[in-house]
Amino acid sequence: MTSTGQDSTTNRQRRSRHNPHSPSHNSSVISKRGVKKGAVPRSSPSLAEVKKKGRMKKLSQAAEQDLIMGLQELDLNLEPKALSGTGLVFEEQLNEFHCLWDDSFPECPERLHAIKEQLTQEGLLDRCISFQARSAKKEELMLVHSLEYIDLMETTQYMNEAELRILANTYDSVYLHPNSYTCACLASGSVLRLVDAVLGAKVRNGMAVIRPPGHHAQHNLMDGYCMFNHVAVAARYAQQKHDIQRVLIVDWDVHHGQGTQFTFDQDPSVLYFSIHRYEHGQFWPHLKASNWSATGFGRGQGYNINVPWNQVGMRDADYIAAFLRILLPVALEFQPQLVLVAAGYDALQGDPKGKMAATPAGFAQLTHMLMGLAGGKLILSLEGGYNYRSLAEGVSASLHTLLGDPCPMLESPGAPCLSARTSISCTLVALKPFWEVLMQSAETLEEDCVEKDKEEGPWEPPVPQIMAWPMLCARTGLIYDRRMMNHYNLWDNHHPEMPQRISRIMCHLEGLGLTERCLTLPARPATDAELLTCHRWGWNHLTAHQCSSHASSAEYIARLRATENMKTRELHREGANFDSIYICPSTFTCAQLATGAVCRLVEAVLAGEVLNGTAVVRPPGHHAEWDAACGFCFFNSVAVAARHAQAISGHALRILIVDWDIHHGNGTQHIFEDDPSVLYMSLHRYDHGTFFPMGNEGASSQIGQAPGVGFTVNVAWNGPRMGDPDYLAAWHRLVLPIAYEFNPELVLVSAGFDAAQGDPLGGCQVSPEGYAHLTHLLMGLANGRIILILEGGYNLTSISESMAACTRTLLGDPPPLLGPLRPPLSGALASISETVHVHRRYWRSLRIRKVEDKEEEPSNSGLVTKKEPQPANPGSAKGMARPEENILEAGMGKATSASPVEESIPGQAKSEIATVELAKDKSLEGTTPYIFPRNLIESLRTLELSNKTQKAPDSQTPEEKLLGEAAGGQDLDDSKLMGFGDTDEATFYAVTPLPWCPHLTAVCPIPAAGLDVTQPCQDCGSLQENWVCLSCYQVCCGRYINAHMIQHHEDLGHPLVLSFVDLSTWCYHCQAYVHHQALLDVKNLAHQNKFGEDMPRPH
Three-class DSSP category at 869: coil
User: What angle is formed at CA 1055 by the lines to CA 1053 and CA 1057, rounded to 5 degrees?
Assistant: 125
- Tell me how crowded residue 1073 is: count the other CB atoms within 10 A of its CB: 18
Residue 313, CA atoms < 13 Å, CB-side half-sphere: 12
Q: Of these residues, 25, 216, 644, 776, which one is catalytic?
A: 216
Chain Cα centroid distance, residue 903: 47
Peptide bond before residue 619 is cis, with ω within 30 degrees of 0: yes
- Tell me how crowded residue 81 is: count the other CB atoms within 10 A of its CB: 8
Return the exposure string of 99-119: e unless at least 16 CB atoms fall within 10 Å of the residue's CB, then b.
bbbbeebbbbeebbebbbebb
Taking Cα atoms as reference points, which of 384, 171, 262 lies closest to residue 893?
171
Spatial contact of 244 and 199, defined as CB atoms under 8 Å apart: yes
- Which positions ≥6 away from 921 have C-beta within 8 Å? 861
Q: What's at 1025, amino acid-wise?
A: E
Three-class DSSP category at 653: coil
Spatial contact of 27 and 440, defined as CB atoms under 8 Å apart: no
Residue 982, CA distances (Å) to 515, 976, 990, 1021, 1039 in order: 79, 19, 18, 20, 17
Spatial contact of 293 and 265, defined as CB atoms under 8 Å apart: no
Taking Cα atoms as reference points, which of 640, 619, 610 lies closest to residue 520?
610
Spatial contact of 211 and 235, defined as CB atoms under 8 Å apart: no
CA quadruple 442, 444, 449, 454: dihedral, nearest 10: 70
- Tell me how crowded residue 98 is: count the other CB atoms within 10 A of its CB: 16
Question: What's the rounded Cα separation, in Å, for the pair 994 and 975?
Answer: 9
Helix (H) and strand (E) counts in the chain: 34, 26
**DSSP character string of 278-317:** -GGGTSTT--GGGSTT---SGGGTTSEEEEEE-SS---HH
Taking Cα atoms as reference points, which of 391, 269, 281, 284 lies closest to residue 335?
269
Q: Of these residues, 177, 623, 644, 663, which one is catalytic?
A: 623
Tell me if residue 256 is catalytic: no
Treating both helix axes as pointing N-terminal to C-terminal, what angle do 180-199 and 147-155 enclose, rounded to 10 degrees? 130
Question: What's the rounded Cα separation, in Å, for the pair 520 and 601?
Answer: 10
The pairs formed by 568-575 with CB atoms below 8 angstroms and a separation of 24 or more are 568/490, 571/490, 572/490, 572/491
End-to-end distance of the chain based on CA atoms, in angstroms? 93
Taking Cα atoms as reference points, which of 708, 714, 706, 790 lies closest to residue 742?
708
Q: Phi and psi for 552 in degrees, rounded to 5?
A: -60, 140
Tell me if residue 535 is catalytic: no
Residues with a known catalytic role: 216, 623
